[in-house]
Structure 1
């Protein structure tokens, strides 16, 4: 009886609290935020505290705390949501704009779309859903140290100064300008010294010297933490100096919290804490791993649930509950700053409507950024721009009509994606005939040609294939959705719902059909799936890849005339994006000569090649020559594309080469033999329109390379070599194909001599001025770049270093005065202890349209001067 009475009292107490939790100080909007946060944390049980330190933080109904998912993405537009969103160029493409204002506006527009999605989630009670929250794990400000790194496309390039300025602009745009509330919360990642290789990222132990750490790997993080006030930081998978980054004394305690005074939150990269025990083997068990990560200020664990062991760690005395409170205070401070505990009427951004998604001004800006990102690498005899009155244009190549290549990785999905082929067709209209030839695959001349014979398949005596969806990975229970499809070729982007009522993750599908062979024949199918699949013929298992291996599988089936065969494909998906494809067809070797002969009938040939985010990216299961695990094994353009370009050039018709890529590609033959070359990156939803605008002269290109394009693999240090000597323009001493900062225009610019002091004292700022004139016959934009070379440095120093840039627009004949103010910090170097100092002696300062001493045709002349530091 006493036990029953206690239960009744407990239930009554819980109900009472559920009714009046709004009376707690944590909900009082008139109180200081810190007091409200402290009150909230004080009311949590140990188990509740630990739950709030996972990326999927559960609801706490007794306190009115809603569930929250910390894991959200917004690299170049809101990514992986069920909604259509604006997709801007991939980050490396936006870096090629060298335009902080454009990047800041893009981040603001993306933040507004993210708010609209979150407002819908709040209204629908779906705050626990991934990719609908407001804490975005972006930007990626790692240095693109090596061109073979597959995730380099997510960065702002190889230079610390450019990365810092662009990253800071992104943070300021995304987080907004309200003094109380964040529009959204940015997160600087991956902290630190993280840039491949992808296959070994969970086990790598990086040991950079102190000079490289402070000269190259930390400046962008310092800028975002100290000056841009980024809300979050993500610690990396790898170890630094034998300590995992998420439990690293130097990175986390000394630099981030003590030196930089960071008060925001830190999240682990997903599954990084699990690596302590499984891969780095630095901790004996998950409890000690979790406790050590928290000791070092890692507030959220993503991916696994190692942090659940913190309950046991507290009870065992490994860590105190007070230490957890420190992390919880940081986490809830972010949520309060996002307005999650205040009335929507009070929160400026809580009113953003769903109509903000793909707003007209957002789509216009996506086109502008795509235009700004395009780099004109070569334009011999002014082949470009092309006339819009050509009778016939051949558009050839694996990227010509590839819409997925426009999206890069960590992407959303817009209502329309414009391929290069689409853009050219839209531009020239019906009066111009377009000859389209995909030609070859990215790295092979063997093409699989689907026959697209929909009538081949039938289900219950009707044409098609039945697709049954299950909300589990094992095809268990009744399907939650069924439909009939004509073929199996589906891509389910991460966060997108595969079908009505179906989970975006942890689902499975059964495709069932039959076919009757009209003759004795051997049929060929090409099969690809992400997590796992198996195929049955007449109830017999004929192909099993239940833990999918990299690449495409082929299977064949001998069929007898008039016989009917039952065919079933079962597929399961766990995390991330999903792809399931089964196509019947034939393999054929591309006839390069025939392709060139058909293209020879055109007035001009536009070859659209390069590579694809299906080949380079995060830890990808890719089995293609030249690529490994998402990285590249060579910087060379795949040879099959060069061979096709040789055939196209032999036609005698002018050839334009348009590259889509997220990284630097070596094209030595093309530079020598193809008259016009554009680099268009992964241009976002309007990438094809932007390419056409440049090809036909409606936009004068002014993109500049944020990375060095090397001539070949020769001279590149080993991929795992994190010593900066020999890496990037700052330390590579060999000749390159296209240097960092390079890009041409349809007009020309002249620079007046520099106006600057001849002598300066240490600790003082200096002003550098010049005048830029558009001396050509077209309006255009120029990216004015300032570099410093340290002529008398006795210790380590870069060959030269970018210290200022401005993107400006000038009418033909127009001049403008340009002014740079260089601070003592910008005039300083780093010593071997990681300390900044100003070397005495001469500094060579250059201002122009690129690095000094670049001799490629069409580059603006550079003005320079010498400054003596005393």
Structure 2
């Protein structure tokens, strides 16, 4: 069912995956603000396109489609305990707001997104869609957002009935319109806006400004242009084409993360005459391979019913049998996703099958009965009898077991995961998820995926409530602040190949000692034009080749070790107020590299990469002291020291910081 002209899309969703229990983690790119900001930028620019022939400013140039970044702001709780997104007040201090929650939306605005959607929840006492500080002062004035602002559907009703922030729809309409909301998804404006205007709560000028913003987007989308001869049915007919399927396959392949691979159990040899047992609640999955918000992949229903047809979707079992001789593959469910009764007999049968087989592929995880819009989790362990099934299989099959996780929010497996031979995180891979999983299992694709969110131990949910929005409270959240030991860290992701990285100095020579005593130095008001350069090599042995993504972090250097005894490193202040562990500041992909091939990757560092918000100064500050630069690829990482000798107030000296590009040399 189509609504409107199909030219404006309420996407991307760029809320932060700040807690594994949130039901909509499956919709967002991850827990890191830099990663999510880059996703926001790429999504908006790809969706909207650019008008290369236009000499006008980017705020008035032609749009191919209209992106709308959502949900502004701090929308990461659905229904948990006595709280729902319709009455929850997200209390966030200024450090977390500026260092974490606001960053992706600021990047969205810089990318000239046509729209922004405000969220159901309140932020620091005021509902997001009636929050003048958030919408008018930050979004409109500070970031200069000129696009349209739309409410989440029914959010204005929540201002009265959920948050008790207004007395009626009239007052709510005035609050929202005066905070610069343009479009109401709901009927609150229809009920209350005219009355609010007649009573003088909203001026005609405010309404006209809102109309102008919406009309400007319509003009940019070409709605007032002469009818085109192009037939949109041709574009519609291309949906599901071989080119689209290939793109879906590439996305599914790139999202698979190899978490563990003992004794190179993976990839499996398709020609080896070994018996395979395919076990677990997702072994025959079709709809379970999809997250939420999907179309009808096989047959659209004319009655608009959302009970879609998934009969054309290949199951993991079918994909494995397509690549492996079917007579070598046997299967059992063992248990369903969340059932707790009547499955012990099935687990015993699955255990027997696992014991008799050479290799076990155990497909576990979540589905939309466990996590989705309006549904958060309380535990991060596998639901139902899946932990019993996993333990039973690992007891008899041990390191010949390959666990494949289908999930959105991260899952805690516990210490028993060490018994498995290999573990894959496959997410919700969509229409060709099974093809992607089988391709990785049998080595037709060398894994490239990295975890976009920390996989915490199960104890995490008992240490910090979902309602706590702070990142630096208690045990902390995300790779930036978590003080515990994760089961698998943000950025983790193995490869079937070994990868070698070396620093390169300005002359192009390789450097074997990556922990030199003399650190690269950044000095305020000193122009430094050198770069951070590395050589990356695919050292094999797996074929085909692969690409990899290099991650660049900084972290505070917190002490002097023996090899640095002669240095003058001054630790960066890491007090209890900040206690940041690390910060992702860049990532770069390699090209596809065959065995033995190498490539040079370059990073460039900016002062802002080292800045953190400081409420005392009401500005982003770069602190002087010693840092560690960490480059990570697959299971390899290298560390360099970096010395910042002067502080910089980014807000007060923003023009200067934009001009200066600071980087390190590899020597």
Query: Does 664-673 or 753-762 show the bigger shift?
Result: 753-762
Query: Does 418-427 or 351-360 show the bigger shift?
Result: 351-360
The aligned residue for residue 839 of structure 1 is: 623
> Does residue 154 in structure 1 map to residue 36 in structure 2?
no
Which of 468, 487, 495 is the matching residue for 1:737?
Answer: 487
Runs of 4+ in 1 over 4 A off after TM superposition: 348-352, 754-757, 763-766
> Does residue 387 in structure 1 map to residue 269 in structure 2?
yes
The aligned residue for residue 761 of structure 1 is: 523
* Closer/same/farther in 2, CA of residues 445 and 292 from structure 1, 3 Å limit: closer
Which of 344, 352, 373 is the matching residue for 1:597?
Answer: 352
* Closer/same/farther in 2, CA of residues 294 and 692 from structure 1, 3 Å limit: same
Equivalent-residue separation in structure 2 for 1:646 and 1:295 (angstroms):
58
The aligned residue for residue 684 of structure 1 is: 430
Equivalent-residue separation in structure 2 for 1:351 and 1:634 (angstroms):
46
Instruction: Count residues in correspondence.
Output: 582
Contact 1:394 1:599 in 2 (8 A): yes
Residues 213-253 of structure 1: per-residue CA shift (max 9 Å, x gap): 00010011111102x11111010111112111111122111
State the superposition RMSD in angstroms: 2.2
Residues 664-686 of structure 1: per-residue CA shift (max 9 Å, x gap): 11112342111111000000111
Q: Quote the offset at 1:642 in angstroms.
A: 2.4
Unaligned 5+ segments in structure 2 are 55-60, 299-311, 507-518, 558-571, 647-667
Which of 267, 281, 289 is the matching residue for 2:150?
Answer: 267
The 3-state SS of whatever aligns with 2:573 is coil
* Closer/same/farther in 2, CA of residues 821 and 675 from structure 1, 3 Å limit: same
Q: Quote the offset at 1:391 in angstroms.
A: 4.9
Equivalent-residue separation in structure 2 for 1:382 and 1:396 (angstroms):
21
Residues 301-344 of structure 1: per-residue CA shift (max 9 Å, x gap): 11344443211222222212221111111112112211111123
Q: Quote the offset at 1:861 in angstroms.
A: 3.1
The aligned residue for residue 800 of structure 1 is: 582
Q: Quote the offset at 1:357 in angstroms.
A: 1.3
Contact 1:298 1:327 in 2 (8 A): yes
Equivalent-residue separation in structure 1 for 2:324 and 2:257 (angstroms):
22
Equivalent-residue separation in structure 2 for 1:636 and 1:298 (angstroms):
40
> Does residue 786 in structure 1 map to residue 513 in structure 2?
no
Which of 343, 357, 363 is the matching residue for 1:608?
Answer: 363
Return the structure number with greater strand share.
Answer: 1
Contact 1:754 1:863 in 2 (8 A): no
* Closer/same/farther in 2, CA of residues 349 and 664 from structure 1, 3 Å limit: farther
Q: Quote the offset at 1:165 in angstroms.
A: 0.5
The aligned residue for residue 247 of structure 2 is: 365
* Closer/same/farther in 2, CA of residues 246 and 759 from structure 1, 3 Å limit: same
The aligned residue for residue 67 of structure 1 is: none
Equivalent-residue separation in structure 1 for 2:65 and 2:641 (angstroms):
44
Q: Quote the offset at 1:699 in angstroms.
A: 0.3
Equivalent-residue separation in structure 1 for 2:366 and 2:321 (angstroms):
22
Q: Quote the offset at 1:352 in angstroms.
A: 5.6
Equivalent-residue separation in structure 2 for 1:361 and 1:822 (angstroms):
37
Contact 1:143 1:157 in 2 (8 A): yes
Contact 2:630 2:637 in 1 (8 A): no
> Does residue 746 in structure 1 map to residue 496 in structure 2?
yes
Q: Quote the offset at 1:752 in angstroms.
A: 0.8
> Does residue 711 in structure 1 map to residue 457 in structure 2?
yes
The aligned residue for residue 225 of structure 2 is: 342
The aligned residue for residue 196 of structure 1 is: 77
TM-score in terms of structure 1 length: 0.64
The aligned residue for residue 45 of structure 1 is: none
Which of 458, 463, 469 is the matching residue for 1:722?
Answer: 469
> Does residue 209 in structure 1 map to residue 105 in structure 2?
no
* Closer/same/farther in 2, CA of residues 609 and 304 from structure 1, 3 Å limit: farther
The aligned residue for residue 22 of structure 1 is: none
TM-score in terms of structure 2 length: 0.83
Q: Quote the offset at 1:758 in angstroms.
A: 1.3
Q: How does 1:237-256 map to 2 (within 5 A)?
A: 237-256=120-139
Q: Quote the offset at 1:733 in angstroms.
A: 1.0
Q: How does 1:340-739 map to 2 (within 5 A)?
A: 340-345=223-228, 353-389=235-271, 390-415=273-298, 416-430=312-326, 432-446=327-341, 590-619=345-374, 630-638=375-383, 640-652=385-397, 654-714=400-460, 716-725=463-472, 726-739=476-489
Q: Quote the offset at 1:595 in angstroms.
A: 2.3
The aligned residue for residue 172 of structure 2 is: 289
The 3-state SS of whatever aligns with 1:133 is coil
The aligned residue for residue 776 of structure 1 is: 540
Q: Quote the offset at 1:608 in angstroms.
A: 0.5
Unaligned 5+ segments in structure 1 are 1-80, 82-128, 448-587, 620-629, 851-858
Contact 2:360 2:397 in 1 (8 A): no
The 3-state SS of whatever aligns with 2:424 is strand
The 3-state SS of whatever aligns with 2:350 is helix
Equivalent-residue separation in structure 1 for 2:579 and 2:402 (angstroms):
39
The 3-state SS of whatever aligns with 2:337 is coil
Q: Which has the larger radius of gyration?
A: 1
The aligned residue for residue 560 of structure 1 is: none
Contact 1:270 1:304 in 2 (8 A): no
Equivalent-residue separation in structure 1 for 2:397 and 2:482 (angstroms):
37
* Closer/same/farther in 2, CA of residues 233 and 668 from structure 1, 3 Å limit: same
Contact 2:333 2:346 in 1 (8 A): no
The 3-state SS of whatever aligns with 2:449 is coil
Query: Does 696-705 or 794-803 show the bigger shift?
Result: 794-803
Q: Quote the offset at 1:650 in angstroms.
A: 3.6
> Does residue 163 in structure 1 map to residue 47 in structure 2?
no
Residues 546-599 of structure 1: per-residue CA shift (max 9 Å, x gap): xxxxxxxxxxxxxxxxxxxxxxxxxxxxxxxxxxxxxxxxxx654321222134
